[in-house]
Amino acid sequence: MNSQYINRELSLLEFNKRVLAQAEDTSVPLLERLRFLCISCTNLDEFFEIRVAGLKQRMEIGAPAQGPEKVTAQAVFDELCVGVRQLVKKQYQLLNTKMFPQLADAGVRFVQSQEWTDAQSEWLNTYFEEQVVPVLTPITFDPSRPFPRILNKSLNFVVRLHGKDAFGRRRHRGMVQAPRSLPRIIQLPEELSKPGEHNFVFLSSIIRVNVERLFPGLEVDGCYQFRVTRNSNLYVDDEEVSDLVRALEGQLEASRYGAAVRIEIGHECPDDLKEFLLDHFQLEEEDAYMVDGPVNLNRLAQVCGLDDRPQLLYAPFTQGLPDELLTDADIFSILRKKNVLLHHPYQSFAPVIDFIGTAAADPSVLAIKQTLYRTGAASPIVDHLVTAARAGKEVTVVIELMARFDEAANISLANRLQEAGAHVVYGLVGFKTHAKMTLVVRREQDQLVRYVHLGTGNYHLATSAVYTDYGYLSSSRKLGEDVHKLFLQLTSLTDTGAMHRMLASPFSLFDALLQKIERETRHASEGREARIIAKVNSINEPQLIDAMYEASQAGVQIDLIVRGICSLRPGVVGLSENIRVRSIVGRFLEHSRVYYFHNDGKEEFYCSSADWMDRNMFRRNESCFEIRQKAMKEQIRNDLDLFLADNCQAWTLNGDGSYDRVVTGDAECISAQETFLRELAAAN
């Protein structure tokens, strides 16, 4: 693909290769390596459900070449097939030849059926009869019982049969569906394991060994696992929909049985049964992946938290707090004196929860407004908002129902908040509300004071412990006015005018970024120092990329720290010699978005919820806030410099779209994440 842009899907596949590389890295603890293997599988599932599904739809309708690189969906799909097959092959080779043996040496064994002792077989037979058989529904096929509907990503078995059934009819094929209520990995009792060992058995092995008992009177000549991945894109017509919740609920149900886009089958399955499955799901040979192991590696994640194997896990750490919060004073009195910058997960998310909880309980607080994109199933923040609403406070919550794979959870929390008396507003169809902000209005000495929290990440307690993000707490009057205007915009859809300290999509952010890049370009052309640093999850917006190409040609030094997708080609002669792109993949998911512009010495720092993608600029409501305090600017600049110095967990992007891992060589190993942890330990 000869273009000055890298295809988005191919770049995303490259990211998943970097994730899998963590599973190969022997410096990573063994169970954490297994976790990275599972993450690579989860990522690949979503890749097929969304990205490959979209490509297939474009191929079906014969859509013309799209994207800034102007390539056809078929060309992208063909190249992806090669890369995905290589990735899947590496996943299973790594599992079978490295991880299973190393786990067994560490006392964590996945026992194959041919290895079961008599005592283990007896226990598993009993388990099968008592726990598995009652919830299974084995079927054979005939005109009255056609092939059943197969749930997206569910575990299934196709069975070859011989003989006649109870009604004298010959049967050739059958099927067994494993309900999701059944655990996919079963731990054997301690008395059936050696002292200190954990022995696990796959549900697929138990079913395969006992499948003849499900078809009495018939001869079973093979039982083979398979799993189908379906199109999980949700489509809501923003011109026709009259009730977003009802439309989305209908789409969620339909997506469980969307068009098949991939099938994974046990590698020992014979060709005729493979063809039978492909024909039924209307898939082609290139859509089939024959795997040597469980068809769903994600299930292995349940063993990654074994609490008696600390040597196989990352060392635990105690989250810190900024000095300003190491006091018994309440959060409002602290913020009246000083703004607070939080760096998660090194610093705790608890102050954010405390900010909202204190507001919910404080009789002087009149109103709380908050955006929610992802919160998790049991969210203390939602609990506090419910408490505030029931206490009679004015609570307004802007909930994004179209947060991918969290749609059902967000519908549920919206209903809960409405029942408590909160005003619930849904994100505008076609413009996801991705901004992360909270506004608290408090009466103080006959005046109304606004307090705000702004962040680069979600209001999600669990992910705040593994995602790196910045959070900002402030009582700044101008910042409070800006956040107030943004909430007015989200609830009333009116033009709120210019803001003091913030930029927002889809209105001011894109133009401001272009202007700042062009300003650096102008400064470089005039012989002045010019520099841009951006840390984001993804970059693919072509106008921003083109502006950076022009800046590079003018002499602007540009460093981009991009975890995932990057459509910009760095280091290309005559185009981007002065642009460097690196990706950090480590213990924590790099999620913070930070923009830095040298501005002829008057340095500017911004934190944001927005990546530099076309969707974030034009199809999402995003927030971007400036950091002005000197100490905070120095902290963020030091953090960025550390990421740029990382030579342990960093990868550099080449102009052809491939990535090379940075090699330490004789230099001292510098890991940004490990440095933050060491500094945290020293402070504690």
**Of 620, 576, 617, 574, nearest in space to 595 by CA:** 617
| Secondary element (H or E) of residue 616 | helix 614-618
What are the CA-CA distances from residue 190 to residues 14, 195, 206, 287 (Å)? Answer: 42, 8, 19, 41
| Alpha carbons 371 and 365: distance in angstroms, whole number | 18
Give the bridge partners for 138, in sequence order: none
Annotated catalytic residue 523? no
- Read off φ and ψ for residue 293, nearest 5 degrees: 155, -170
- Read off φ and ψ for residue 146, nearest 5 degrees: -70, 180
| Alpha carbons 447 and 445: distance in angstroms, whole number | 5
List 343, 344, 434, 453, catalytic entry? 434
Q: Which amino acid is at 366?
A: L
Burial class (CB in 10 A: 0-12, 13-18, 19+), 569: buried
CA dihedral 37, 42, 47, 48 (to 10 degrees): 110
Q: Which residue has the tokens 């039982």?
A: 223
**Of 602, 581, 622, 378, nearest in space to 486 by CA:** 622
| Alpha carbons 318 and 321: distance in angstroms, whole number | 10
| Alpha carbons 582 and 18: distance in angstroms, whole number | 12
The separation between CA 651 and the C-alpha centre of its own chain, rounded to angstroms, equals 20
Task: Say if CB 341 and CB 632 are below 8 A apart.
Answer: yes
Task: Say if CB 163 and CB 171 are below 8 A apart.
Answer: yes
Which residues fall within 8 angstroms of residue 256, CB to CB, at 6 or more apart?
Answer: 151, 152, 230
Q: Which amino acid is at 661?
A: R
Q: Which residue has the tokens 């402030």?
A: 474
Task: Say if CB 593 and CB 536 are below 8 A apart.
Answer: yes
**435 by DSSP, 3-state: which?**
coil
Task: Say if CB 432 and CB 352 are below 8 A apart.
Answer: no
| Alpha carbons 200 and 193: distance in angstroms, whole number | 10
Rounded (10°) angle between helices 8-24 and 73-94: 10
Token pair listed for 651: 């990868």
Active site residues: 434
